[in-house]
Chain A
Amino acid sequence: MRRRDFIALVGSAVAWTVPARAQSMPVIGYLGSENPERYSSRLRAFREGLAEVGYIEGRNVEIEFRWAEGQYNRLPAIAKDLASRPLNVIVAAGGAEVALAAKSATATIPIVFEMGGDPIALGVVDSLSRPGGNLTGVSSLSVEVSRKRLEFMHEMRPGTKVFAVAVNPTSPTSSSQLKNLHTAATSLGLELVVLKTSTEQEFDGMFTAVHDMRAGGLVFSSDPYFAYRSQQLAALAVRHAVPAMTQSRDFPLAGGLMSYGGDFNQSHRHTGMYAGRILKGEKPSDLPVQRVTKVELFINLKAASALGISFPSSILSSADGVIE
């Protein structure tokens, strides 16, 4: 009798521990618009943020990744599939497209987004201080500073009046950025040539066009699609000897001329922290949308000398990062 009791006790203890252990490992669904290689620097920052609130992948949290491989039209389906999984939180990082896809996929699973642009204007959240619903996240300032890139490029090439602007028409922020850029061009007294591109195949033609029209430079609007392809774009800029500027520091690091945009390290780290806080039980509606505080200017002196131009002292003194 006593032995049977003991066996029953042990049995129930085992039965109790197994599901408890499975449950103790929360799962994050990570929705990305590209692939792990292009996201690597951002993933590192995201994991840092998670670790800062005490979560380490494989030890006390699992991450289930879904990648759209650059094909944004696939995002909604991938997001839906991800949302059907038993997840504790979805991280939709790396652009408004991803955030919107995740938002349409679930209204119950908490979502932490990372994007550029105004989350209210894009319809992601109703308010920054009280996001409401199941979404919160981090907004970088990259979209807002598109016009600053035009300003910097104009300062770099003060004698030139014509500049080219690269826009991805499939991006939800493209029209607002274009409007901004046109306003800026008017106030700076510049002429803009808008080059629309949404595939890698069009990149080469774009640089050729800039070269052919003898524009002062090519300014990329803020778009993750461009940001994730910084190396490719830098190589093309070097090949075509086009002074170009993107939002991501990856661009000057890869040989491009300069970049100006929100610190994606900071934004992705904050995303990780928010994901961790939600895993700890905080509600997304209690976490205000955060805007990054840092906008960084990176310049590449080597690229400038290769182009035969030099940075004016105003830019040199403002640069957060100088690549020699």
Chain B
Amino acid sequence: MSNPLVVPRTSLFKKYFRALFAAAVVPLLIAGGSDAWFGYHDQRARLNDLLNAEARFAAVNIQDFIEGIRDQLGWTVQLPWSEDGGDRRRLDALRLLRQVPSVENLTLVDATGKERLFVSRIGLNRIEGGDDLSAKPAVTGARSDRIWYGPVTFHGGSEPFMAIAIAGNRTADGVAIAEVNLKFIWEVISGIRVGRTGDAFVLDRPGRLVAHPDISLVLRADEAAQRPLQALRAAILARPGQAAVGQDVMGKSVLGAMVQIPGVDWSVIVKQPLAEAFAPIYAALWRTAALLVGGAALAAVLAYWLTQRMIGPIRLLEDGVARIGAGQFDHRISLTTRDEFERLATRFNEMAAELAVSQERSERINRLKRFLAPQVAELVDRTGDDRVLDGRRVEVVVIFCDMRGFTAFSARVEPETVMGVLREYYDALEKVVGAHEATLINFSGDGAMVLVNAPVACSDPALQAVTMAIDMQISVQKLLAGWRAPDHQLGFGVGLAMGPATVGQIGSEGRLHYSAIGNVVNLASRLCSSAQDSEILIDRVAAHAVGSRVPLVELDARTLKGFDQPVPVFSAVIEKAVTDSTA
């Protein structure tokens, strides 16, 4: 019993829960997912722009550093060499060393390529050294391109230096060669910050580290350790203008962008740890995830609540319908959800009430049918008013009938025969009573009592009663003809009287009878007893009421038991043909 109920309930719950949950979570997922996707691409583009801008900025700073030295050097090659200009140039050179701390020493070469002046911070100064430097790459380079940048060299295998040579506008101005300590770029490079922890570094053309915020990395001059940085540069070069992912010397993933510095052919690369660069995306993803989890939890709670709200009333309705179905018509489904469920419950309750009414009605009809003619019972039922059965005093016609010689007959024949005869006899009587819309009050043995004009009133009770009695005689006489045998005589008599009587339901709660009480009942009974076979005895009231519509014969007044005076008696004349044919 419980299983077929539980299974569909669970599945409905699941169905609704899933649908409601999905309705809330799926849009959330789509929104969150697309948000993350677009966010990632936006951030990637933004990072690209930002890193490229930072790289340009860093490159400009490094370039400024180099150009600063170049511009200062330019002063020293503005005038042609003459014999007496030496001291002035020496002062200029010393001033340059003072102005540009990164220049470790400075060599001035004249138009012929001879070293005229050498000033140094560490070594001894030389005036008119006279060495022929004309074949040196610095001198030839500067003469052909005006400016010449030497390769980066690592003094003592550690400290990065670079020579910068600049030629004057005219050949006579000579060439100035400066040895530059590149450790000074540290101040520039360590001033560059990308984001919170991002920084910049510089690689020369062969990929050696020239500048890095951690100067010890430069001084270590370790090619193997610098390989990741070269790989990062290669990755950026593979997609120009785009930030690329690579690793720093610590093996940490970084996003880098690069700008080349022309002339020195250095690569200035800015990098930012991936984790930091993408931190906003990760934060957004976490936010989205948190929202999703929160939304899912809320959706689950809501879905559960809504489903419960739906399932609860459905269970109540289901239970209620089951009870009503089982015949508990007094059961009421109480729902106050103020929605369709409540209306449905109300409908069910109304249905139960109507079912109760109709059941009561059908029960009553069944009860009535036991002692009312089916038509009468139907009538009572149709009017829906059984007050017709209430006790009252009314003018009725009472008809009694019974068989003659039945007691003797029943004593002689088999019980089966007796029961068979009685069944046919009653069937015939019931048919006639039913046809005339009279009320069969009861059977007792071979006798029966019939009432006309109660409980259902009719326009002409006397005539109806008399015609019914005639029909009864005809029907029963037909049956009797079949049963008459030489050794036993069966007959049928009817008595009929009209007058006021008290009618209504008599009896106990368990057993009710509709009956009539009054003198007229006794009279009808006595007339029936007095009647011969085939005879219908009628009292004077009924006979007068019928008048001449039915042929009646007045008989001699008879003395009846219970009556002081002889009672006038009439007899209905039954058509000879009918009697003959039945004989």
Is B124's CB under 8 angstroms from A129's CB?
A: no
B95 contacts partner chain A, Cβ-Cβ < 8 Å: yes
B219 contacts partner chain A, Cβ-Cβ < 8 Å: yes
Nearest residue, chain B, Cβ from A154: B124
Alpha-carbon gap, A313 to B92, bound state (A): 11
B242 contacts partner chain A, Cβ-Cβ < 8 Å: no
Which residues of A135-190 have CB atoms within 8 Å of chain B's CB atoms? 141, 144-145, 147-148, 151, 184, 187-188
Is B216's CB under 8 angstroms from A287's CB?
A: yes
Q: Say which residue of B121, B124, B154, B216 sits within 8 Å of A187 (CB atoms).
A: B124
Is A293's CB under 8 angstroms from B220's CB?
A: no
Which residues of B156-171 have CB atoms within 8 Å of chain A's CB atoms? 156-159
Nearest residue, chain B, Cβ from A120: B156
Alpha-carbon gap, A129 to B181, bound state (A): 16
Q: Which of A22-30, A36-44, A99-107, A314-322 contacts B (4 or more CB under 8 A)?
A: A314-322
Alpha-carbon gap, A147 to B216, bound state (A): 29
Q: What's the minimum C-beta distance from B75 to chain A, rounded to whole angstroms?
A: 14
Q: What's the minimum C-beta distance from B9 to chain A, rounded to whole angstroms?
A: 45
A145-B122, A151-B125, A288-B220 given as contacts; is B157 within 8 A of A129 (CB)? yes
Q: What's the minimum C-beta distance from B121 to chain A, rounded to whole angstroms?
A: 5
Is B98's CB under 8 angstroms from A129's CB?
A: no
Alpha-carbon gap, A88 to B183, bound state (A): 29
**What band does the interface of chain B fall in when counting residues whose beta carbon is under 8 Å from A?**
20 to 34
B91 contacts partner chain A, Cβ-Cβ < 8 Å: yes
Is A317's CB under 8 angstroms from B220's CB?
A: no
* Number of residue pairs A-B, CB distance < 8 angstroms: 70
Which residues of chain A come closer than 8 Å to B384, judged between CB atoms? none
Q: Hey, what's the 0/1 contact readout for B107-144 against A, CB within 8 Å counting as 1?
A: 00000000000000111110000000000000000000
Q: What's the minimum C-beta distance from A105 to chain B, rounded to whole angstroms?
A: 25
Is A313's CB under 8 angstroms from B122's CB?
A: no
Nearest residue, chain B, Cβ from A277: B216
A130 contacts partner chain B, Cβ-Cβ < 8 Å: yes
Which residues of chain B come closer than 8 Å to A141, judged between CB atoms? 121-122
B479 contacts partner chain A, Cβ-Cβ < 8 Å: no
Which residues of A296-324 have CB atoms within 8 Å of chain B's CB atoms? 313-314, 317-320
Is A184's CB under 8 angstroms from B124's CB?
A: yes
Which residues of chain A come closer than 8 Å to B222, judged between CB atoms? 129-130
Is A313's CB under 8 angstroms from B157's CB?
A: no
Which residues of chain A come closer than 8 Å to B157, judged between CB atoms? 127-129
Which residues of chain A come closer than 8 Å to B101, judged between CB atoms? 293-294
Is B90's CB under 8 angstroms from A314's CB?
A: yes
Is A151's CB under 8 angstroms from B181's CB?
A: no
Alpha-carbon gap, A144 to B216, bound state (A): 22
Which residues of chain B come closer than 8 Å to A188, judged between CB atoms? 124
A291 contacts partner chain B, Cβ-Cβ < 8 Å: yes
Alpha-carbon gap, A295 to B158, bound state (A): 19
Q: What's the minimum C-beta distance from B340 to chain A, rounded to whole angstroms?
A: 56
Which residues of chain B come closer than 8 Å to A148, judged between CB atoms? 121-124
A290-B215, A293-B183 given as contacts; is B158 within 8 A of A128 (CB)? yes
Which residues of chain B come closer than 8 Å to A320, judged between CB atoms? 98
B429 contacts partner chain A, Cβ-Cβ < 8 Å: no
Is A317's CB under 8 angstroms from B156's CB?
A: no
Alpha-carbon gap, A288 to B156, bound state (A): 11
Which residues of chain B come closer than 8 Å to A187, judged between CB atoms? 124
Which residues of chain B come closer than 8 Å to A151, judged between CB atoms? 124-125
Q: Which residues of A contact B (CB under 8 A)?
A: 120, 127-130, 141, 144-145, 147-148, 151, 184, 187-188, 286-291, 293-295, 313-314, 317-320
Q: Which residues of B contact A (CB under 8 A)?
A: 90-91, 94-95, 97-98, 101-102, 121-125, 154, 156-159, 181, 183-184, 215-216, 219-222
- Additional A-B contact list (5), CB under 8 Å, known A129-B222, A145-B121: A145-B122, A148-B123, A288-B221, A318-B94, A320-B98
